[in-house]
Structure 1
Amino acid sequence: MFFVLAGSGNGLRADGDLTLHVVDEASGDPTIARMELTRQLPVTTRRTARPKSVSARPRRAVSSGPGFVIDESAQMSLEDGAYQFKVTRGPESRVLRGNFLVERNSADEHQLALPRMIDMRQHGWTSGDCLVPRSSESLPMRMTAEDLHVARVIGITDEFGRGKEKPIPGRRASEFFAEDGQFQTPDGWPTSPIWTDAESRCVGGLVFYGQHTELNEVIGSEVGSTDELASLRALAKLPTDTSIRVAIENPFGWLLPIWLASERIDGMFVLGDWLQLDQPIHRIKDGRVVASLDRKDATQLGREVEQIHWQLMEAGFRLAPLAGSGDDPGNSPVGYNRLYVAGRSSASSFDSVEAAVPVTSDEQWWQAAWSGCSIATNGPLMRTNLNGFLPGREFTFSTSDPLADPEANVIAELTAEVMLTVRDPVEYLEVIHNGRLHYGAKLDEFAKAGGRIPPLKIKGSGWATVRVVTLYEDHFRAVLSSPWYFQVDGSPRITDRSVAFFQEWLGDTEQRLRQLPPEQLKAVAPFVRVARKFWADRSELAAAP
C-alpha cells in the first residue's frame, strides 16, 4: 500500500496532516489496532552511528510496545519525508504494511481495512497474558489493540485500575469503569469480553497467584524482592489448604530444582520475557543457561525452555504451561506471548469428540489454564486434539485392556488432529512423544498427506505435545500445545536421565550458593537438604522396575 500526501498550497504549515481510520475489513466497523510508524531519514542527515529511520507517533496516543494504539482513527502532524507503517491487531489478524510520502503543507485522509484471519474465541479459545508489568498506559486500550481478552497485572487490586492510568485521549473513564470502580467492556467494543486482574506477586523468579489477603499473609515483606531466597521462604509459608497457585516465571532460575522439590509448583512459563517483539535476546541476566548456547542464534533461549519443560515431564511433573509478558517490561505489546484456553464440552464416552467452548469468566479462564486445556503462542495459531480430546487430558490404560496388542507391546493407538492459521513462514510441524519426535513435516508435506498424522502407539505411561515452529530468526516464535498425559496401570513416567538432569542442576546451584555470606548460607541450607533427599528419592523411583 502506498499513497502520497500532496501539498495544499496554503503555505501555512511546513508539516503534513494525516488522518488514518482503521476498520475491520469484513464488517467495515471501526476498530482499535496497534501501529508502528517510521520515517526514513534524508541521506544528507544520516551519519554512520545514526539509524536510517526513526520512530514517529502522534503526540497524544497510548504507547504499546514498538508502536502506539490507533483508537479507530489517528490524526498526525508529520514532517515531510517518506514513511513506512505496520498495522496489526494481534495474531488473529493479518499485518497491514505500507508506505506513504508526506509533502510540505499537505493534508490527507485514508482508511485502512484490517483483515482478520480467524476468530479464535468463536472456535472456543480465549486469549490471555498470564503476567503483565504495571504501566500507566491504558491496559484496556492496549489489550483491545492486540485483541486480548485476559490480563493478569503484577500487583494487587487496590493499586490497579481507575485513577492509576494516564487519561485516554478522546475517552472518558466512565466508559470503562462502573461506579464501583470495576472495569466493564463498553457496548460495541471491538474486543469483548475483557477481564483484568492484579492479584499476583513476583518473588525471586516465581509468581504467586491468589487473593489479596492470602498473598499478604504468605508473602508479606517479600513483595518486590529480587532475592532468590525470598522465593523459598514464601513457598515454605504456603498453607496446605491454600488457594494460591505458584508458577515458575523464570525457568532458568538457579533455584529451580529446589522450587520443584517443594512440590508446591503449579505451572511454568514456556513463553515469557526472554521472547520480546523485535528484541533478539541471547542471554538472561539472572539464571543458569547451558554454556553451549550460540550468541549468533537468538532462537536458542526459547528452545532451551522447551527442553526444560520436556525434562520436567520426563521427571514426573505435570506443570501447567503458561505464557505472558513476564516481569520484565521490555518493549513488547501486551499479549505478544499469550495463552489460549478453552472450556471442555462434556464427552459422554472415550470415543466422543470433546469440543472447545468459550469460557465465560476470568475464573473459568484460569481454571482452564491450570488444568492445561491450553495452547501457548507468540505467533502461529493452532487448534488441536488427540483422539478428539483437547490438550491437558489424561488417558488411563491397563495392560490387560482387551484392545491392547501384547505381541507388538502396544496398549493403544491415538491420532492427533491439527488445524493451523499462520502468518510467518513455518519451519515444521511436530508431534513429540516422551521427548522424542513422533512425527515431523513441513507444511507442504503435511498438506500433501491430507493433514493426516500417523497414530501414536502407546506402550507405557508418558505424554505427547504438538508444536509448530516458524522461520522467524529474532527469537523462538512458535505455538505449543499443552501436553496430553498417558497413565498405564497407575504408574507415572519418571526417567533416570531427566532426574539426573535436575540433580546436576542442583549441584551447580549448591556450588553457587556456597559463595553466599555465612548467615544467608545458613538460611538456605535446610531447603538444599530437602531438595537433595527429594531428588534422591525420585532417582529411586526412576530406577524401580
Structure 2
Amino acid sequence: MNLLRTTSSALCFWCVAIASLQAQQTAPVTITVTERGSGKQVPCRIHLKDAGGKPVRAPELPFFRDHFVCPGKVRLELPVGNYTCEIERGPEYSVASGTLQVRERTESDWGFQLSRLADLAGEGWWSGELHVHRPVQDIELLMAAEDLHVAPVITWWNNRNLWATNRPPEKLRVRFGENRFYEVMGGEDEREGGALLFFNLKQPLPITAAQREYPSPMQFLAQARQHAGAWVDIEKPFWWDVPTWLASGQADSIGLANNHMCRDQMYVSEAWGKPRDTQRLPPPRGNGLWTQEIYYHILNCGLRLPPSAGSASGVLPNPVGYNRVYVYLGKKLDYDKWWEGLRAGRSFVSNGPLLRCRANGKLPGSVFSARKGKEVNLEIKAELTTRDPISGLEVVKNGRVEQRVSFEEWRKTGRIGKLRFNESGWFLVRAIADNTNTFRFASTAPFYVEIGEAKRRVSRTSAQFFLDWVRERRQRVKLDNSSQRAEVLAYHEKAEKFWADLLSKANAD
C-alpha cells in the first residue's frame, strides 16, 4: 500500500511538472501593423490578451491597464496558447482584430492593416486633449499611436510634483514629427470642490500643501491668471465648485467629453460631485447626459464657454486621446493658434464619432446677428464619420432638442435641416452612438445668435439652477478653523450674488 501511494504521488508530481513545463513554453511572435493603401508601418495601440483575458505587456514599450503602444512593429516572446488582439489608432482609423494562436517551437508573424476612415488634419481639423497623466518620456509614441496632435501633460497636482526633484527642461513646449506638440507643465488642483486643470504656465502653482477644502481653488486660479497665456479648464461640469468658478469669469473651457466616459465602460456616478437624479437619468449613460445638461444650463445663462475634452489616461482606464477636441485651423497647425481656436469655439469634441458641421457655411463658434424684429434662418450641413452605429443627429437649441434627423436620412443629403431664430440664443449639433456600455458621442461647440439689443439669452430656470447649487455648496463647507471657513465661504457668497443678479436680469424662461 505504501509503495502504491509513493508511486502514485511520484506520478502526480511528474504530471504537474510536465504540465507546468508546457505552460511555460514560449515562442517568438512578431506583430506588424501597416496602413492599408500605403503599406507603411503606423504607430498604434494594441490590446493583446491571453486565453484567460489577461493583458499582455510588451517589454520596453508604454503599457497601461489593458494595452501597449508600438511604433508599428513589435517582437514578443509569448507562452504557447490562444490570444485575442484589437488594434486601434484613434477614431480616424478602422479597428483591426483577430484570434491568434502561438504554437510550440513555431515563430509567428502576425500582420494587421488599418484603413484611414477620415483625414481631419487634411480637412483643417487638429486634434488635442487636456488630461494626460502619462510619463513625459512616453508621450511622443503615445501621441503618434493615437494620431493626436496637441497634448499638454499633467506633471504636477496636489501632493505630487515631478519637478520637485527633477529640473524642468529648458523647452517646456516640444514639437516633434511634422505637426505634433506637447507641453510638460500641465497641472491639476483636484480637491473637495472638484478639479481645475492649468496649462501654459512656466512653473507649478504652490498647491502641494493645500488641504481638502482650504485654501479655496479660487486662490490658485487667481495666481494662474497672473501669467500671460495661462489656460484654466474646468475638468468636469458636475463638480461642486462649478457655479463659483463660472461666476468668477476666470475659466477658459469646460470638459464636455471627460474621463467618466471610458473606452469600455462608464463611471456611472458623479464621484464626489453634484449627483444627478438617477431615476430620470439612469446608468450607465446617465452621467453623460447630466454632463451635457449642465453645460446647456451654462449656455442658457449667456455664458460662452467652449467645450473641451480629457481622458485622464494614466489614472482612469482610457488610452491617451480617447476623449479629444478637434479645433479648426486650416492647413497648418500652430500651437498658440490651436488654443485661440479652442477659445473661439471653432471646434467639436468626441470620443468616437467625427462630426464636422457648418451653419450657413460657417464654423461652430460663429455669431449670427440680426436687427430687432428680424429673423435668423440657418441651414445646417454635416459630415459624419463613425465606427459605431448612430441612430440620428440632433440639433440642440437653447438647451432642448429642436430637431432630429435619422442617420439614413442624413446620409442621403448631408443636411440636418433648417433652423429659425426670432430672438437671441444658441444651438449646437450632437450625435450619440448606440452604445449601451459607455457614453460615446460627438458634439459641436455652440453657434450663437444675436437679435436686437438683448444679445444674450438668459434663462430664469438656468440661473436659478446655479443659484440653488451654490447655496447648497455653501452648506457643504466643513472647516473647523473659523477664519479659514470664512475665507472659503467668501468666494461662494460672491458667486451667490452673481447668480442672484443674473436671475434678476433674466429675459427668458
- 2:358 counterpart of 1:394: no
Is the Cα–Cα contact under 8 Å of residues 300 and 475 in structure 1 kept in the other structure? no
Q: Secondary structure at the match of 2:30?
A: strand
How far apart, in 2, do the equivalents of 1:304 and 1:20 lie? 41
The letter for the 2-side match of 1:212 is: K
Shift of 1:496: 0.2
- 2:117 counterpart of 1:117: yes
1:375-406 deviations in whole A, cap 9, x for unaligned?
10000111110100001111121125xxx3xx
- 2:56 counterpart of 1:93: no
Is the Cα–Cα contact under 8 Å of residues 155 and 199 in structure 1 kept in the other structure? yes
Q: Secondary structure at the match of 1:391?
A: coil
Shift of 1:224: 7.5
- 2:488 counterpart of 1:524: yes
Is the Cα–Cα contact under 8 Å of residues 395 and 487 in structure 1 kept in the other structure? yes
The match for 1:353 is none
TM (normalized to structure 2)? 0.86
Q: 1:210 aligns with which of 196, 200, 221?
A: 200
| Change beyond 3 A, Cα 1:326–1:230 | farther
Q: How many residue pairs end up in the alignment?
A: 476
How far apart, in 2, do the equivalents of 1:232 and 1:180 lie? 29
Q: Give runs of ≥4 in structure 1 deviating > 6 Å.
A: 179-182
Q: 1:35 aligns with which of 46, 49, 74?
A: 46
Shift of 1:134: 4.0
TM (normalized to structure 1)? 0.81
Is the Cα–Cα contact under 8 Å of residues 261 and 267 in structure 2 kept in the other structure? yes
The match for 1:458 is 421
1:470-512 deviations in whole A, cap 9, x for unaligned?
0112221100100001111241100101001111111211221
The match for 2:309 is 323
Is the Cα–Cα contact under 8 Å of residues 66 and 333 in structure 1 kept in the other structure? no
The match for 1:251 is 237
Q: Secondary structure at the match of 1:292?
A: coil
Is the Cα–Cα contact under 8 Å of residues 301 and 463 in structure 2 kept in the other structure? yes
RMSD: 2.8
| Change beyond 3 A, Cα 1:164–1:78 | farther
Equivalences for 1:410-429 in 2 at 5 Å?
Answer: 411-429=375-393
- 2:353 counterpart of 1:380: yes
Unaligned ranges ≥5, structure 2: 1-21
How far apart, in 1, do the equivalents of 2:210 and 2:29 lie? 44
How far apart, in 1, do the equivalents of 2:382 and 2:114 lie? 26
Between stretches 104-113 and 492-501, larger displacement belongs to 104-113
How far apart, in 1, do the equivalents of 2:39 and 2:422 lie? 53
Q: Secondary structure at the match of 1:453?
A: strand
How far apart, in 1, do the equivalents of 2:305 and 2:65 lie? 30
Between stretches 512-521 and 97-106, larger displacement belongs to 512-521
Q: 2:180 aligns with which of 181, 194, 203?
A: 194
Equivalences for 1:7-406 in 2 at 5 Å?
Answer: 14-41=25-52, 53-64=53-64, 66-135=66-135, 138-155=138-155, 183-186=174-177, 192-204=178-190, 205-212=195-202, 219-221=205-207, 227=213, 229-237=215-223, 242-292=228-278, 297-326=283-312, 329-343=315-329, 357-399=330-372, 404=374
1:168-208 deviations in whole A, cap 9, x for unaligned?
xxxxxxxxx9x97974535xxxxx41100133322241123
| Change beyond 3 A, Cα 1:332–1:226 | farther
How far apart, in 1, do the equivalents of 2:162 and 2:288 lie? 33
1:265-321 deviations in whole A, cap 9, x for unaligned?
221110111112223311233211124268962211111111110000001110011
1:504-526 deviations in whole A, cap 9, x for unaligned?
11121122125665343222222
Is the Cα–Cα contact under 8 Å of residues 46 and 87 in structure 2 kept in the other structure? yes
The letter for the 2-side match of 1:526 is: A
Is the Cα–Cα contact under 8 Å of residues 199 and 230 in structure 2 kept in the other structure? yes
Identity of aligned residues (%): 28
| Change beyond 3 A, Cα 1:454–1:183 | closer
How far apart, in 2, do the equivalents of 1:130 and 1:485 lie? 25
Between stretches 69-78 and 313-322, larger displacement belongs to 69-78
How far apart, in 2, do the equivalents of 1:529 and 1:155 lie? 33
The letter for the 1-side match of 2:423 is: G
How far apart, in 1, do the equivalents of 2:459 and 2:243 lie? 16
The letter for the 2-side match of 1:454 is: G
Shift of 1:107: 0.9
Shift of 1:137: 5.7
The match for 2:441 is 478
Q: 1:506 aligns with which of 444, 462, 470?
A: 470
How far apart, in 1, do the equivalents of 2:422 and 2:87 lie? 49
